[in-house]
Amino acid sequence: MTQKRRKKVSKRSASLFSQSAWQPPQILTTPIEILTPDQIEDIHNRTLSFLQTDGIEVLSNSVQSLLKSLGAEVNSTTNMVKFDSALLIDLISKAPSSFKLHARNPQRSVNIGGNSNVFMTVASAPNASDLAGGRRPGNYEDFKNLTRLSQSLNVVHAFGGYPVEPTDLPANTRHLDCINDLITLSDKAYRLYAIGAQRIRDGLEMTRIAHGLQDSDLDNNVVAFTNININSPLRIDGAMLDGLVAASERNQAVIITPFTLSGAMAPITLAGALLQQNIEALAGIAITQAVRPGSPVVYGCFTSNVDMKSGAPAFGTPEYVRAAYAGGQLARRYKIPYRSSNANASNAVDAQASYESSFSLQGAIMGGANIIQHAVGWLEGGLTASFEKMILDAELLQSFVESQKPIDTSEAEFGIDAMRQVGPGGHFFGTEHTLERFETAFYNPILSDWRNFGAWQDAGAPDALQRASAISNEILSQYQPPPLDDSIAEALNAFIARRKEEGGVLDA
Amino acid sequence: MTQKRRKKVSKRSASLFSQSAWQPPQILTTPIEILTPDQIEDIHNRTLSFLQTDGIEVLSNSVQSLLKSLGAEVNSTTNMVKFDSALLIDLISKAPSSFKLHARNPQRSVNIGGNSNVFMTVASAPNASDLAGGRRPGNYEDFKNLTRLSQSLNVVHAFGGYPVEPTDLPANTRHLDCINDLITLSDKAYRLYAIGAQRIRDGLEMTRIAHGLQDSDLDNNVVAFTNININSPLRIDGAMLDGLVAASERNQAVIITPFTLSGAMAPITLAGALLQQNIEALAGIAITQAVRPGSPVVYGCFTSNVDMKSGAPAFGTPEYVRAAYAGGQLARRYKIPYRSSNANASNAVDAQASYESSFSLQGAIMGGANIIQHAVGWLEGGLTASFEKMILDAELLQSFVESQKPIDTSEAEFGIDAMRQVGPGGHFFGTEHTLERFETAFYNPILSDWRNFGAWQDAGAPDALQRASAISNEILSQYQPPPLDDSIAEALNAFIARRKEEGGVLDA
């Protein structure tokens, strides 16, 4: 290696933080198939049969009426809706197999479906934590900093929600401030919360302003998404349904996520939990298509198990991984984009958080997930958004992406001349083949520390948690907001002022 | 849940340690194919061409003579041996696709090859570490304790070598004491070191005694294995070759492991490193078949990259994972069992150790490895054997095995009656379907802590490293050696006494 080149390298390593470039998120691996085709058809047929015979609880009069008008059997006393199988299949078949989720910066727009694999932030954690400040209830300052951190990480493609709940903001206007921040502190796509219709409508209006669209353009551009958690077992609640309708009727994306924790909200068996997940997901998907045929919708899988000793949810378990594989197969059975998560149940950013997340991601990525929610920052079963966990997860995600890339076997890559030049017992450091490539040959980690033990000890023996803390702090200290037209900022502020004057969401 | 059942559960959770039962190690996943069939054939053809045109350095006169007698082109001045492609293919084709590795306890015998996936301990670390004592040079006490710990873990199928080097034992008789301990403290199979022929011969004699075999039985029973590291690039050294011959001539197993760290001992490109690995592996495999056609041999892959900033080896990187996938495809191309490793470069048992190991294992397991060396305990690029890392790795291995198991979709598993009984918004804790299954429904972790944050804090907020330490200590405090006939122990002692009187290995 020449002196000049050495210098360049050591200069690069002086900064704590470097990362992979933004790249289109892509599934490069053939998904793992843990279910046989017969098993998938068995689950499918049992799903149809259950929704036809038993049905699902739908806690919205207007959705009940809509479904009844299409031929579903509705009992307005029990709120149970039964779907004739032909009706269900017809509705499901209208869902698109992929769509484009637009961000205000077109370069941050992402495809959902096909071989696209979009990584989204942790969402809705009630607490935040970092090494210096420990764990504290979610607040606005942490919300903004976690948003800045997520914006800064190229491997984060979109916001899965508010990274942490800013519980110090009033609930009835919180969405106005938070969406404003997601627009101004970031240029990536984001989720609107489906707690009633009004938050979705306000969010869509703000997003319309941010994108510089006319109101009528919304119907032809997916600019936002929401997530509908099913109140498993077998219940879809009213506020969620109002939000679903408000999103679907404007052709915005809806993720349907059954909350099937096996042993608690679903049968204790994986087959039972997956069947219930499929029943609930198909019912929710059918409702989106009843509201607006062809509107974008995503099949969500959140199936995991609980610890039967304590009742606490567990994540990144073998059951979680197998459910993530199977969920992908079911979603592909219906040609609907698939959502999974990067979950873990650890209380600390330690080896457990690391392996539970690695397993969750393995299930999600090798299961063919098109969206991975909570891909960065989720800790403690989702009760905490962690700054350091964001850094750890960014490393995991970058590594997963890189480790699935094909191997270049073009002639020069083999380096046969270099082998001959080096000869038995030699080394390759100084060969031309090496010098031509050494700066970009290998994946460059965010967090991994490859110093030898002595050098690492001399530096204070920082473990991965301590290093992640330093990296997170460095990123935040260097953060710059992405450009935004003054006119858009002004229009947003005017809208927010008006809506606050009106009292925000009045039923909150 | 009834009171009686609750009690049973809480009793079980009182012990720090529980683990999965010993089970036949099995590959349950279709290996990932990162190379196309054309790419594999390209690497194959380039390998044949290189070994025919350029050859490899073979630092043993007797092996040179043997290969020359079979038709290889030998230059006794440069020590280069060139293999005619037909000769090479003929030799390689004699290697068996699988074999049984016998342990002194027949229940611990394992198949190598096919869909078998054997997990072996860390080997040859120069240092040991635990939380209480920190990092220290390898010593005999740590050697014995790591052996006891490995024996106690059901997910460890065999000893990949001495878990740590007992550097306080004299080098010329160390193997006598260590093999004696591997026999008496454990009943699992183990490796003999190929540093010259004598250690292999002593080890085979001790193993013969332990198994109660006649000398002639050895040729029909694989009771031990050794590992031959190629001095990459392109050199096979004399001591290693003497050990290889001593093992192969008695029909014992040999793992051929090219030491192809891309950027240092191999080209900086993955294609180049894999080509060199294949050249070196095939040369080594051919030599075993020249010594004894049909003798068991394993294709080893240790390809990783170095950190080009420091020259330090890196493990568990994206390059490592891709090489592990590709290595499996190459080994299967030759129908020879495949060896990979669970490697990482972390200095601490932290999140980095956890994700680097998770990635290495993902590469190995999804790459179809039949043997995973260093599956438990390896830390710091192999420079340290860690007690806590053994516990962490046991969790990773158990989880990987469980997460690849098929999903049972027999009628009762679906729990449809339970779903009907529970109904919308209910929970499954008390249903008969749950009560019948809750004790065994889910994977039971070794290390994961699923308590809620408050309970975890009240318990002193132990992170995974601290918990692993407590578990390791508990296992060691409960350790009992497996039964061994007194007559065997006596015969072993007599052999060791005689060999020590003779001075052990005289050239050491």
DSSP string, B344-399: ---SSSSHHHHHHHHHHHHHHHHTT-SEEEEEETEEGGGTEEEHHHHHHHHHHHHH
b/e sequence B287-302, b meaning 16+ C-beta within 10 Å: bbbbbbeebbbbbbbb
Which residues of B, range 202-221, sit inside 8 Å of A by Cβ?
A: none
pLDDT of residue A16: 77
Contact A233 B424 (CB under 8 A): yes
Which 8-state DSSP code applies to residue A253?
Answer: E
Which 8-state DSSP code applies to residue B20?
Answer: P
Nearest Cα to A318, choosing from B402, B444, B352, B307? B402
Amino acid at B182: L
Contact A270 B407 (CB under 8 A): yes
Average pLDDT over residues A475-479: 97
Average pLDDT of chain A, as a whole number: 95
pLDDT of residue A12: 38
CA distance B222 to B99: 8
Taking only the tens place, the pLDDT of each residue in A47-106 is 999 999 999 999 999 999 999 999 999 999 999 999 999 999 999 999 999 999 999 999
CA distance B472 to A55: 51
Contact B351 A468 (CB under 8 A): yes
- For residue A5, is pLDDT > 50? no
Substitution target in B57, B235, B409, B410 with the highest count of A β-carbons within 10 Å is: B409
> pLDDT in tens for each of the 508 residues of chain B?
333 333 333 333 456 789 999 987 788 889 999 999 999 999 999 999 999 999 999 999 999 999 999 999 999 999 999 999 999 999 999 999 999 999 999 999 999 999 999 999 999 999 999 999 999 999 999 999 999 999 999 999 999 999 999 999 999 999 999 999 999 999 999 999 999 999 999 999 999 999 999 999 999 999 999 999 999 999 999 999 999 999 999 999 999 999 999 999 999 999 999 999 999 999 999 999 999 999 999 999 999 999 988 889 999 999 999 999 999 999 999 999 999 999 999 999 999 999 999 999 999 999 999 999 999 999 999 999 999 999 999 999 999 999 999 999 999 999 999 999 999 999 999 999 999 999 999 999 999 999 999 999 999 999 999 999 999 999 999 999 999 999 999 999 999 999 999 999 986 4
**Across the interface, which of A262, A413, A425 has its CB nearest the CB of B269?**
A413
Please say whether the beta carbons of B299 and B312 come within 8 A. Answer: no
The two counts, helices (H) then strands (E), for chain B are 17, 21
Which residues of A, range 250-279, sit inside 8 Å of B by Cβ?
A: 262-272, 274-276
Beta bridge partners of A99: A112
**Across the interface, which of B54, B319, B449 has its CB nearest the CB of A352?**
B449
- For residue A217, is pLDDT > 70? yes
CA distance B248 to B271: 30
Ramachandran bin of B143, using left for φ above 0, alpha for ψ from -120 to 50, beta for the remaining angles: alpha
Which chain B residue has its CA at the smallest distance from A231's CA?
A: B425
CA distance A201 to A192: 9
CA distance B67 to B81: 8
Query: Which residues of chain B make contact with A32, given a CB cutoff of 8 A?
Result: 29-30
Which chain B residue has its CA at the smallest distance from A318's CA?
A: B403
B134 three-state secondary structure: strand
> Any CB–CB contact under 8 A between A305 and chain B?
yes
Size of interface A-B (CB pairs under 8 A): 387
> Any CB–CB contact under 8 A between A307 and chain B?
yes
Which residues of B, range 43-62, sit inside 8 Å of A by Cβ?
A: 43, 46, 50, 54, 56-57
Please say whether the beta carbons of A255 and A300 come within 8 A. Answer: yes
**Degrees to nearest 5, angle at CA B379 with B374 and B385:** 70
pLDDT of residue B310: 86
pLDDT of residue A170: 97
CA distance B289 to A72: 71
Contact A415 B326 (CB under 8 A): no
Nearest Cα to A386, choosing from A177, A173, A142, A169? A142
Please say whether the beta carbons of A300 and A257 come within 8 A. Answer: yes
In order, the DSSP letters of A424-472 are TT--STTSHHHHTTTTTSS---SS-----HHHHHHTT---HHHHHHHHH
Average pLDDT over residues A142-161: 98
Which chain B residue has its CA at the smallest distance from A426's CA?
A: B233
Instruction: State the CB neighbour count (10 A cutoff) for residue A436.
Output: 13
Please say whether the beta carbons of A150 and A120 come within 8 A. Answer: no
Which residues of A, range 341-380, sit inside 8 Å of B by Cβ?
A: 345-359, 362-363, 366, 380
pLDDT of residue B10: 36
Helix axes A464-478, A140-152, angle to 10 degrees: 90
CA distance A280 to A286: 10
pLDDT of residue A8: 37
Sole residue written with tokens 């994540």: A315
pLDDT of residue A1: 35
Query: Which residues of chain A make contact with B357, given a CB cutoff of 8 A?
Result: 355
Substitution target in A36, A60, A80, A409 with the highest count of B β-carbons within 10 Å is: A409
pLDDT of residue A4: 39
Which chain B residue has its CA at the smallest distance from A7's CA?
A: B309
pLDDT-derived band at A6 (thresholds 50, 70, 90) equals: very low
